[in-house]
Amino acid sequence: MDMEMVYVVGHKNPDTDSVVSAVGYAALKPEEYVAFRAGEPNDETLEVFQLAGTDVPPLLSSLRLTALDMSKQLTSLDEKATFLEASKLLEKQKVIPVLKSDKLLGIVTEKDLFRVIQKELFEEEVTVRLEPEVLIKTIPGRFLTPPRVIEGVPLVLASSTETAGNRVRSNNVVIMGDRWDLLPVLLKRRVRAVIFTMGLSPSENDLEQLTDAGIVVFSSSLHTYNTIRLMFMAFTVKEAMNVNPVTVSPQDGLDFLRRLSNLHRHRYFPVVEEDGSFRGLLELADLASPPRKKVFLVDHNEPGQAVDGLQEAQVMGIIDHHRLGAFTTDEPVKIIIEPVGSTSTLVAREYLRQNAHMTRQVATLLLGGLVSDTLNLQSVTTTPLDVDIAQFLEERSFLPRDELASRLFHARVQAVLRDPSALTKDFKLFTFGKVRVGIAQIEIPGGSSLAPVMRDAIEKVMTEKLEKERLDLALFMLTDITQKGTLLFAFGQRHIAQMVWAKPFKDGTEYLPSVVSRKKQIVPLLEQILGGNG
């Protein structure tokens, strides 16, 4: 995981202001600040990005630490790599993943290599199998006969001819210097192979006899001791690797990993995809003091609206235009929260404060966010600062404010008519006292006239939200931008809405003239009647 990255992200069920303000703020900051979105963009958001000529930021579904986040990227070897190659690599890293076509075959540590070598050293009769390419990689030298697998029991010859004659067997791989007097014994026994040391080679006649006898001949550039020593380093990692390590999935979270480490007291856990693809290695020590993802929140400051796993992340700052909710941080952070019409307004002002260059793409995006949240400066939430910033952005945007507003609101209407699920794209959760409330809103021109054809769809999606989010009350605001009023739908414990607005809600709806803002006109009233929003 890139520990320097700061995730700049808005709230779940993102509206246009939430997404574009993340992009705008990330563009203002150093390159480690990267914009993300916390959900699928609505049609209006897609429209403004298309008009700006750029792509929407990538999805961030969670801030929780995962095995992949904490894993290390290591140099790997294939199963035919030698102990010599492995030992050199183990000087740089504690464990080696053994891969084939990026799939994990096993892992190797120094302990694994030592276990094999120790076993061979204490065996009375050791059998080695040396592939030609492995032998050449391990012991400097050359084949004097056609290369072939060497397999047999190593035997060092430095004794008399008589003693050698008693010791040599046909399954031997003989290591010797210039004891040419012993060649008749080797030919008689038809040993598997002869490895001459110190770069020696037999005479042409002797080599011909050895070749005819089917004996593999190799000349090592090293002296006898080092040749023998490196012979044991010519084993392949396949012979030593742990083929059944406890693996974890890239998406496994910190709590699960800690439980797993308590159950299996291993030091290393390979991170592996379902298809066996190796993604990294997790060490037990990493779980003791895990890193934290860094996040900068835009257009929200309440944990219930944030990306999952916020409690595990380090919040670097907040820029928002909503009320301050029940939110705490471990350390002092930069917070910009002001009662303006959009977060895009505050982001754009930061450019002015820092005298920073703003591209036309960013200007178009931020103007779109401002227009969307302030209903093209017609909302009651609009402030003089919004008006000034709108003019500043319009001068730098790809198209005029009114034309941009027309394009965005048209996309909003078409999305609702085509796909009823768009009705809850802008959905937020609140807790007032002990009452859990969800409020969705859509602001469209001529919203009142569309109510009859949208009623069934609204009831369906809000009833689903009521059950899924375990709400006491679900409210839907069908806000008419033209008439500057809202048809409020109430689902669930309707008597709560009746009490708050002192209206009957006979068919589950009430028209609220001059009410267009959830933040300034709906939420404060609920808080006043029901209790603080926590």
pLDDT higher than 90, residue 162: no
CATH number of 68-116+238-287: 3.10.580.10
Beta strands in 221-285 (DSSP E): 268-272, 278-283
Which phi and psi angles does 416 have, rounded to 5°? -65, -45
* Model confidence band, residue 99 (pLDDT cutoffs 50, 70, 90): very high
Domain with CATH 3.40.1390.20 in the chain: 132-235
pLDDT higher than 60, residue 72: yes
pLDDT value at residue 533? 61
pLDDT value at residue 399? 94
pLDDT value at residue 374? 92
What is the token pair recorded at 392? 């500043």
pLDDT higher than 60, residue 534: no
pLDDT value at residue 2? 64
Q: For residue 148, what are the contacts with CB-CB under 8 A and spacing of at least 6?
A: 132, 216
DSSP-assigned states of every residue in 397-444: SSS-HHHHHHHHHHHHHHHHHH-GGGGGSSEEEEEETTEEEEEEEEEE
Q: Which helix (H) or strand (E) holds 520?
A: none
pLDDT higher than 60, residue 1: no
Q: Which DSSP state fits 330?
A: S
Domain with CATH 3.10.580.10 in the chain: 68-116+238-287
What is the token pair recorded at 352? 């002015």
Q: Which of 464, 470, 458, 525 is nearest to 497 (CA)?
A: 525
Give the range among 87-96, 261-270, 299-308 with minimum mean pLDDT: 261-270
pLDDT value at residue 232? 84
Q: 79-93 pLDDT, tens per residue?
A: 989 999 999 999 999
CA angle 323, 329, 334 (to 5 degrees): 65
Task: Considering the domain delimited by 132-235, tell me its CATH architecture.
Answer: 3-Layer(aba) Sandwich (3.40)
Is the pTM higher than 0.75? The answer reads no
Q: Give dist(CA 261, CA 246) in Å, integer.
A: 10
- Chain-wide mean pLDDT for the chain? 92
pLDDT higher than 90, residue 420: no
Q: Give dist(CA 520, CA 323) in Å, integer.
A: 9
* Model confidence band, residue 138 (pLDDT cutoffs 50, 70, 90): very high
**Mean pLDDT, residues 175-189:** 94
Domain with CATH 3.90.1640.10 in the chain: 6-65+293-414
pLDDT higher than 60, residue 365: yes
| Centroid of chain to Cα 48 | 28
pLDDT higher than 90, residue 63: yes
Beta strands in 321-411 (DSSP E): 334-337
**Mean pLDDT, residues 185-208:** 96
* Model confidence band, residue 135 (pLDDT cutoffs 50, 70, 90): very high
Domain with CATH 3.10.310.20 in the chain: 420-530
What class, spelled out in words, does domain 6-65+293-414 have in CATH? Answer: alpha beta
Q: Which of 226, 175, 183 is nearest to 205 (CA)?
A: 183
Contact 7, 25 (CB under 8 A): no
Q: Which fold has domain 420-530?
A: Diaminopimelate Epimerase; Chain A, domain 1 (3.10.310)
Q: Which amino acid is present at 4?
A: E
The bridge status of strand 6-9 relative to strand 294-298 is parallel
**Mean pLDDT, residues 258-283:** 90
Percent of the chain at pLDDT above 90?
73
**Mean pLDDT, residues 411-440:** 89
CA angle 49, 58, 382 (to 5 degrees): 50
* Model confidence band, residue 280 (pLDDT cutoffs 50, 70, 90): very high
Q: Which helix (H) or strand (E) holds 463?
A: helix 447-468
